[in-house]
Every structure is written in structure tokens, then in C-alpha cells.
Structure 1
């Protein structure tokens, strides 16, 4: 039996039980509000507050023009559900152990700080946090704390998003609108603009398009990625093992959402220096193929995937 140490230096449960069976990382305590008042615990709690109420501290309405790093009013928790601990909603348990890692969008090995700043530029439609800032330190410390039960390589069940069967057709926008009206509008409103929290800073139900949503450079702006997230997590209360929507419904509603107006990221052409690494459902050019912008945004995606397989022997699934 061996132990790892938490960010506060305390011994915690072993990663591997005496029988050799890995612990259930999702069954552990991730309630940051129960931490103490040491300097280490205080910075973790600040990281949790930044994660769950991001605009309050670094959003457009925080009251300090020097601390505005967001262009919208989303919080990290709006995509990484249950404060970053929900399976198949890109959970952040183990994320620290998985970095540094190679990312095709930058075509290089990147740090966890660079990955966080990618979210600020895209999902938050903002600008990079200084890597030596208290806010960056707090976010990283929170992710370290979430990762304390993860295995050495950081790989966990429920990592990323669920896989779906991608229909071999273009998105059906009319069907997507019907799915949205029936399943999504009750929380996100028929306008898709979401419902603000009474605290005035964040959203109870985030906007899916419009000025306060993610920009078109975010991963969620890709139909396949959005459909995978929706399948395992939406409507509210859905879990990966009890989905409500079919793969086709998730696909069409993802396409409908991503065809609505949203902020545009500056200089998107600088993404993916190696265009062969660009996901097929990336909604902006340039591409290393001759398929239309509309097909990259709405499918069918199989012909594009087949082109890369036949031409470059590259297997793409998103």
C-alpha cells in the first residue's frame, strides 16, 4: 500500500487498494468548501470560487478594469459540470497528471497553464491570464486538488466526452430546432440566451449563443464535440448511463445551436499550424482539403474523414 499527499500535505487514501483495485475517483470528496484555513487550503478554495463564479472575479462586471479577462459571463463550471467532477463532461480529475501534453491546435507540447488560457481565449471569449497571477495559481491548485485521487497517468473512466454514432448526413436544422424547443428551451430559454443567477455575475443556465456564450474558436463550437457533450449531459440531470436524447437528436441539436450567432475569435487562421491535425467539424477555415465551409460546419462528416484516411492515412473521429 502506498500513499500520495494532498495539496495540504496530509496523507490521504491510497490510489490502489490492498487488493490492487483502483479506487473509484468519482466517489471521493471534492467539496472544496470543507477545506480549512491554511494558506494552501485558502488558495484551493479561491480556485474553486474562480471555477464556479468566474465572472465575479475576472469577468466584465467585476468592478476592476485591470482584472477583466473574460469577454462573456460563463463560468468554468458551465462546461465542466459538478465543479469539474462529472463523468463525460470533460471532468478535470487527473488533468494535472495528463500535462504537459501535445495539442494539435497549437501543434506543440503545452502546459496546464497554456491549456487554461486556451479556455479563456475561446470558451470565455477573453484574453490570457498572466501565468504568474494569483488567479492562475489558484486555478492550478484547485485542479491539483481535484486530481489527488487520480492514477499516475491521469487516465480515468469518463474522461472527455462519450462517443456517439455520427449520422452519415448533414445536420437537420429543423429537427435540431424541434429538439431544442422540446428539451433545451425550458432551461436555456427559447432565445438560447440562458438564465442569470440572482448573484448577477453568473448563469444558472448558460447562454448557448449570443454575446455571453463561447466564441467560434471553442471546442464546443464543433458539432461533433457539442453532440458528444449533449448526449451524456443534457437535458439537465442526464447522465452518460441514462441518456435521454438519441445520437441523432444530439447531433441535430448541436448543429442547430452552433449555427446561431456567437462571438468570433480573432485570428482563427492561426489555429492548427499543421492543418492535417484540424478536426473535421472545425467551423472555420483554412482546411487541408477542398470540402466546403458548410460541410465542415454541418456535415456529412464521413466523406471528409474518409478523405483524410485515404489521402494521408489519418483517422479522424471529430
Structure 2
């Protein structure tokens, strides 16, 4: 009886081994399809993530690591008192908006940046290279001057963005590549209510005057400014109420929000964004040149961009604070998907 069971188990083992070999053979026979299927299974409905411990070595790896350092400590390296150059005009860091050096979900995530550029940008009305888009950030929210295209800093930032792209597996269902969506109400966002919410949730870090808190060594900010002459300027993505609200929902307050689990409601995020971006009560730095024109093709303007002229019947006030649904309905009625 014992020998009989041993023989049965032996036959079962051969059967399992044969099926396993057949499966491996079929995977190797169509390797690309197998990888794609594995990727979909492993990453479907997942949140984007980056393992920075797997950075490459050698000279290329050194550029990648320096690029990440530039993202995290922009002011230290290339700020007004930077040790490697003076390119940015304030002491903010790239990671203030692109949190965790662009790796954090729902925080202007940069994992796709190297793949997505060159890209047509409605704000500029033309196709931008990745280097131009990087300089766009250096000049607008960081109030700086362009990095030379062949500089160590530009090449290192691009190397880091390539690392982000190469080291992550993402697909259409991967979460966190874009900021969180906010439900747009039927009424305008309220700067008045936003002020109350700012005092309750934001003032402890960004200060009553909105100008943030400097780090002890004065090199950069512990908490960056949200308005004032050293904050981001008009025309920056953060200066749009809906865009800022999407970011706030996914990231603030920093100690009460985790990726994908917001603390603020959609309406609260919109009201805080309306207060922070209220140019009637808060000063902001002006553009360095009067020749700059955002959205030269007026029909391509984002719905929350508040400077005319517009190719729709809505006022600057409504474009800035809403209600946004009538603007959306107007453009969809013309067969155009409005930018949000």
C-alpha cells in the first residue's frame, strides 16, 4: 500500500513539472506579451512608486543622484546664494511642488516626464522640449533665469527624470501620476471662507502673512511661501485655482494627508486655493518681460486661467473663481474639451 501511494505521488509530480515547463515555454515563446500581462497584473490599480535605492552607479549614476539633489535642495545648489550657480531667484525648492523629488503620487508626479516630452503646451502655444519645460519651472515659480542646455545641472535633472521613467512600471490604471481631481460645485469658490480655512489649517506652517518659514540656516524654506514677492508668480500652474485645489487635496495639511487619502474636502481645497491666489489682497512677483504671452491661442486657455481675452462670454472673475461648469458646458457644446 505504501509503495502504491509513493508511485501515485511520483506520477503527480511529473504531471506538475510537465505543465510548469509548458507554461514557461509558452511565456518564452511570446516574451513581450508575457511581460505585458505580468505588468498589467502587477500594476493594475496600483499607486505609482519609485525605489530610489536602485539608482545606477558610475558617472551616469552620479548625474542621476545630483539631479535628485537639485530637485530636493534647489536653493542650496542654484538658488540666490547657490554653491554651484545662481539661477533661481527665490529660495524655494522643486520638491515644494513636485514632492519627494517628483516621486510622490498626486503631487505633480514626474515619473512620466521623460516619456511625455517633447509635448505641445497650450500655455506657450507650441511644442516644448523637456529642457524647455524644466526651464519653465526655473523661471516661473522659482523666479529664475534659464539653465544652460549643456550645463551639468540641466543634464543631471534630465538624467534623474530618465531614471524615474526607467525604474517604474506604469500603465493606464496606475494611480497618482496626476493630481487628485476635485468635484467642481455649482457656485464660485470663496476666498472669504478660504481665509478661515487657511487660518485653521495652513497658517501654522506658512505664516499669517503667507510668506512661509525659513530654515534655521536661512538657505531655504522649512515651509515655502504661498504668496508674496518671493512666491510663485502669476502664470505658474499653482496660480490657477482648480490646479492648486487638486494639489492641496492630495497633499495638505502635510501631516494629515497620505497619498490617496485627502483630509480637505473638494470645496475646502477650492476655497483655500481661491484665498491664496486672490491677487486683490496678496502681492505676487510680476513677469520679467512684458513680451510674455500665455495661451496665445485663446480657445485653448485653461478654464481657471483668469487673464483675458477669452473666446467665450465669461468674465475674468468667473474664470478665476467659478462657477466653472457653465464654462465647461459652453466649450463642450462647441465640440471642444476644455482644459482643466
**2:139 and 2:146 in contact (8 A); partners too:** yes
* Mean CA deviation greater in 221-230 or 15-24: 15-24
Tell me what 2:82 maps to.
62
**Which deviates further from its counterpart, 167-176 or 283-292?**
283-292
TM-score (norm 1): 0.86
| Structure 1, unaligned runs of 5 or more | 3-13
Counterpart residue number, 1:5: none
Q: How does 1:1-318 map to 2 (within 5 A)?
A: 18=38, 21-23=41-43, 26-31=48-53, 36=57, 38-62=58-82, 67-151=85-169, 156-237=174-255, 238-259=257-278, 260-265=282-287, 266-267=289-290, 270-310=293-333, 312-316=334-338, 318=340
Distance between the aligned counterparts of 2:291 and 2:104, measured in 1? 30
Q: Deviations along 1:143-169, whole A, 9 cap, x unmatched?
A: 111222334889842112111111222
Tell me the equivalent position of 1:7.
none
Q: 1:207 to 1:289 in 2, by over 3 A?
A: same
SS at match of 1:270: coil
Matches of 1:139 and 1:86, distance apart in 2: 17
**Cα deviation, residue 202, structure 1:** 1.7
Check the 8 A contact 1:268/1:284 in 2, yes or no: no
Shift of 1:15: 7.3
Structure-2 change in CA distance of 1:219 and 1:155 (3 Å): farther
The structure with the largest helix share of the pair is 2
- Partner SS state of residue 145, structure 1: helix
CA distance in 2, matches of 1:89, 1:257: 18
CA contact (8 A) 1:95 1:143 kept: yes
Q: What SS does the corresponding residue of 1:102 show, helix, strand or coil?
A: strand
Q: Judging changes above 3 Å, is the alpha-carbon distance between structure 1 residues 268 and 239 closer, same or farther for their aligned structure 2 residues?
A: farther
Of 137-146 and 258-267, the range deviating more from structure 2 = 258-267
Q: How many angstroms apart in 2 are the aligned matches of 1:153 and 1:251?
A: 29
TM-score by length of 2: 0.81
Q: Equivalent residue of 2:263, what SS?
A: coil
In structure 2, what is the Cα distance between the partners aligned to 1:207 and 1:15?
45
SS in structure 2 of the partner of residue 147 of structure 1: helix
User: Residues 16-37 of structure 1, C-alpha deviation per residue, up to 9 Å, x if partnerless?
Assistant: 68575245674441248x765x
1:173 Cα deviation from its structure 2 partner: 1.6
Q: Report which of the two structures shows the higher radius of gyration computed on alpha carbons.
A: 2
Structure 2: which 5+ runs fail to align?
Answer: 1-26, 29-33
1:232 Cα deviation from its structure 2 partner: 0.9
Aligned-pair CA distance for 1:123? 1.5
Output the CA distance in 1 between the equivalents of 2:308 and 2:83: 37
Contact 2:185–2:323 (Cα < 8 Å) also in 1: yes
Q: Indicate how the Cα distance of structure 1 residues 155 and 72 shifts in structure 2: closer, same or farther if over 3 A, else same.
A: farther
Give the direction of change, closer, same or farther, for the CA distance of 1:250–1:79 in structure 2 (3 Å limit): same
